[in-house]
Structure 1
Amino acid sequence: MDTESWQAPKRPLFGVVTTSVASRRDAAAATGDYRPKPIWLTLEQRAHELGLQTIFFHPDDADFARERVHGWVCERGEDGEEIWRRRYHRLPDVVFDNVFVHLARRQDVLTLRRHCVKRGIPLFNPTLGSKTELADWLRRHPRLWRYHPDTVAFTEGAQALDCLTRYPSVYLKPVYGSAGSGILELTRSGTGYRVRAAKYGRSKKPLDRTCSRAELLRFLRRERVRHTFILQQGCDLLHVDGSKIDLRTHLQRDKNGDWVTVALIVKQGQPDSIVSNYHAGGATRDWEWLEREAKRQEVELPARQHVISLSEAIAAAYAKKAPTLASLGLDIGIDLKGDLWLLDVNSRPGRNILNDEQKEVCQRLNAEFASYLIELR
C-alpha cells in the first residue's frame, strides 16, 4: 500500500537500495500483502537488534529534491506482529548498494550514488575499479604483491610472445570481465601456439584453436580492438582429474569494521577448462577433500589459517582504497609447490556459491557494518 504519510524514525535509518523487493508497481505494493524474501528478513532483524530502522527501496524511489525515500519498512506492534508497509522516510543515514551489477550503470542508480556522495551519506558495497587498478593498488603493498602473478597492461601481441618465453602459459583478462567471460589462455604448442577460452565472443561458447606465430599476432590484434586486457603470468596450478583447482574466500566486515572470513570454498573446474568458475560449470569441494587430493599428488598445502590470514590482509589493503568496502571475494590458486597466488578480486562477489547459513551470516554482517558506518558519522 502506498501512503503519503511522512515517517520520522527515532532510530538511525539504514537504507538498502535494491531491485530485489517489490516496486510500487507490483500487485503486492497495491494490496499491502507483502513480505521480503527471508534473506532480507535476516538483515532487517539484525539491524533492528542493533537499534537501526531499515528501509528497502528501488533506485528511482529516492527523491533527493524532497529529501526523502519511498520504500518498505517493517512495523512492529506491541504484540510482536510484524507488518511490512511502503512509507516515506527522510534520506537514510547509510545506504547499502545492492543493485545488480548489470543494472549498475542505469541513470537512476548513478544519480543515487552521486547524491549520496554529495550529501556525505556513506554508501557501501562500492566497485573497486578495473583489474588494472586492482593490480596497481596491490603493488603498493610489497608483502602482498609477492602473491600476485606478474601482471601488465596488454598493448600488443609481442608482449604475449615475450611472456611465453618465461612462463608456460599466459592469460589475457578483460579489465572489466567477470565469471570467466572473455579470458584467453595462451600456450606454446609444438612449433605454434594454442588459444583457449571458456566463454568466447557473443556466443559465450568455448574456444580452442592452434595457430602459427603470424596467425596469433593477427588474432591478438583483433582482440585488442574488441577489449582492454591485462596480460598475466600463468601459474602451474594444482589439478585433480584434469580439472583446475582454486580457492574462493568470501570476506565481509563486521560491527567493528574488521574483516571476517565467511567462507573458504574449494572450486573445481570442468575437466580441461581454463577456469574453475561456478558459472562455467565448476563444482565446490571442502578443505578435507583438497587435503586428500593434495596428499595423493604429494603437494604440501599451506595451512588453512594461512589462506584466511592472507585473504584478510589483502582485504584490509583494498579497504584503504575504498573505506566503505564491505565485502570481497578473492580467487586464490595453489601451485604444485604449495605456493599461493591471488588470481582475481571481486568487490561484488556472487553469493550463489555460498550455502544458506553463510548467506545469512553475510546479511547479518551487512547490518553490522551499516551500524559501524553510522557510528563513524
Structure 2
Amino acid sequence: MTLIGYLHFRKDPAKVSKSYPLAVVAKAEGAELVYFSPGRVCWEDETIRGMFYEAGRWVERTTRFPDVIYNEGQKLTTQNLQTVQKLRARIPFTSYGVGDKMVVHDKILTAGQFAQYVIPSVEVRTVDEVWALLDRYRDFVLKPIRGRQGNGVLYIQQLVPMHSFCLHEGADKRQVDAEEFRSFIQTRLAGEIHLIQRYINCKTKTGAAYDFRLHVQKDGAARWVVVSIYPRIAAPGQIVSNISNGGYTNYAKPFLQQEFGEQWFEMKRYLEHFSLVLAKHLDDIYGASFDELGIDVGLDEQQKLWLYEVNWKPGAPPTFYLELDVVRNTVHYAMYLAEKHKVR
C-alpha cells in the first residue's frame, strides 16, 4: 500500500483543513496518509512519528518513511529546512514553488513563447523609480511583489500627468497632488519591494472589474487537467476581484454567455486550452513538474488575453462542489509519483 506523507508545519492535523479529506480520499483510493511535521522525523531508524486518521479520530504512531510527500509552502526554521531538504533528496515531493511574481514574469518573457500574454511590469523600490515610470503608464497598478489574495493592490490614475493622481484601494478613492503622492508612495514602499504593472481594463458589460481563475492539476497519469474555470468579479467600485477582498464568483457558462454571447463556447475552449498549454510550458521552463496551479488572466477591450499571475497551491474552488475533485487529483498524482520512484 502506498504511504503518502503530508508534510506541514502545524503539529495538529485537526487544525489543517486539507488533512481530513486527504486522509479519507487516500484510503478510498487504496493508499494511506500520514500527517507529520519536520520535527517528527527520526533519521537514526528512518521513521516518522505521525498522525493517522482512524475510526473517526487522529491517532499518533510511528511509521516508516512515506513513499511520496505532499508538501505545502511554509516558513521553516533552519533546522526544519535542512530536514525538508534531506527528505526531498530521497523521497519524491509532489509540489514545487513558482517563486514571486517577477520570477514568473521574467521566466516567461525569457522563454518567449508566451511573452505576448505577459503584462508589462517593473520592479520598484523607491519613489524616484515610480516617478520615472509615469510617462510610460498613465494608469497603472502598484502591488507587493509577494502579495497574496489581492492584498495591498493600489490602482493609480494620472489625472493631469505629473500634477495630480487618483488613488483607488479597495472601496477607498481619493485625489492627491504630486507632493502627497510622493509621500504616500514612499510610505507604501517602505520595507517591501513592489511591482508597477500596466492596468488592464477587464470589465463586464455593466462595468464591474473581473478576471478568470484557471485551476489546473496533474492527474494520476501526470497529465494536466482543468479542474475549473470561473470568473471573479470585483465588488462595485473596486478593481480587485479576489473573493477574499469582497469579490464574488459565478459559474463559467452563464457568465460567458452573458459577456460573450454566441462566442461563449469558443471563449471557454480558448481559456481551457490556454491553461493547459501554459501549465505544460511552465513545467518545461522551470525544469520541474508542478502538481497544481492557479492561473489568473484577464481580457482587455479588444478581448486580448493577459496573464496577471500564476499561483502555487491555489486551493479548492470556492464553490461548485469541486473540493473532492481537487483532493482526488492530489492523491492520484501522489500515487503516480510513488510508483514512478519505485521503478527507478
User: TM (normalized to structure 1)?
Assistant: 0.78
Match of 1:70 among 20, 28, 49: 49
Deviations 1:204-246 (A, max 9, x none): xx54332222332332233222310122111121235342111
1:216 aligns with 2:178: no
* DSSP-derived class of the 2:119 partner: coil
| Contact preservation (8 Å) 1:263, 1:354 | no
Match of 2:279 among 315, 319, 325: 315
| Contact preservation (8 Å) 1:128, 1:322 | no
Distance apart, 1:180 and its partner CA: 0.7
- Bigger mean CA offset, 60-69 vs 278-287: 60-69
Cross-structure match for 1:189: 159
| Contact preservation (8 Å) 1:46, 1:364 | no
Match of 2:60 among 82, 86, 111: 86
* DSSP-derived class of the 1:176 partner: coil
| Contact preservation (8 Å) 2:253, 2:264 | no
Cross-structure match for 2:229: 264
What runs of 5+ residues in structure 1 fail to find an aligned partner?
1-10, 27-35, 76-80, 199-205
Cross-structure match for 2:267: 303
Q: Distance in 2 between matches of 1:84 and 1:301?
A: 46
Q: Kindly provide the amino acid, as one letter, of the partner of residue 339 in structure 2.
A: E
Cross-structure match for 1:232: 197
Q: Distance in 2 between matches of 1:247 and 1:302?
A: 15
Match of 1:335 among 300, 314, 318: 300
Cross-structure match for 1:128: 98
Match of 1:115 among 52, 77, 86: 86
Distance apart, 1:345 and its partner CA: 1.3
Match of 2:70 among 90, 93, 96: 96
Distance apart, 1:372 and its partner CA: 2.2
User: TM (normalized to structure 2)?
Assistant: 0.85
- Bigger mean CA offset, 251-260 vs 316-325: 316-325
Q: Kindly provide the amino acid, as one letter, of the partner of residue 132 in structure 1.
A: M
Q: Distance in 1 between matches of 2:96 and 2:3?
A: 19
Cross-structure match for 1:360: 324
Distance apart, 1:187 and its partner CA: 0.9
Q: Kindly provide the amino acid, as one letter, of the partner of residue 311 in structure 2.
A: N
| Contact preservation (8 Å) 2:49, 2:62 | yes
Residues 137 and 37 of structure 1, relative CA distance in 2, 3 Å threshold:
closer
* DSSP-derived class of the 1:133 partner: helix
| Contact preservation (8 Å) 2:143, 2:195 | yes
Distance apart, 1:104 and its partner CA: 3.2
1:348 aligns with 2:338: no
Distance apart, 1:19 and its partner CA: 6.5
* DSSP-derived class of the 1:365 partner: helix
Cross-structure match for 2:76: 105
Distance apart, 1:158 and its partner CA: 4.8
Match of 1:44 among 4, 23, 26: 26
Q: Distance in 1 between matches of 2:331 and 2:323?
A: 13
Match of 1:147 among 117, 122, 129: 117
Q: What is the root-mean-square deviation in Å for CA atoms of aligned residues?
A: 3.0
| Contact preservation (8 Å) 2:125, 2:192 | no
Distance apart, 1:330 and its partner CA: 1.1
Deviations 1:141-183 (A, max 9, x none): 3221211111121144455455444444211221111011111
Distance apart, 1:349 and its partner CA: 0.8
What runs of 5+ residues in structure 2 fail to find an aligned partner?
none
Residues 162 and 41 of structure 1, relative CA distance in 2, 3 Å threshold:
same
Residues 367 and 37 of structure 1, relative CA distance in 2, 3 Å threshold:
closer
Q: Distance in 2 between matches of 1:245 and 1:44?
A: 36
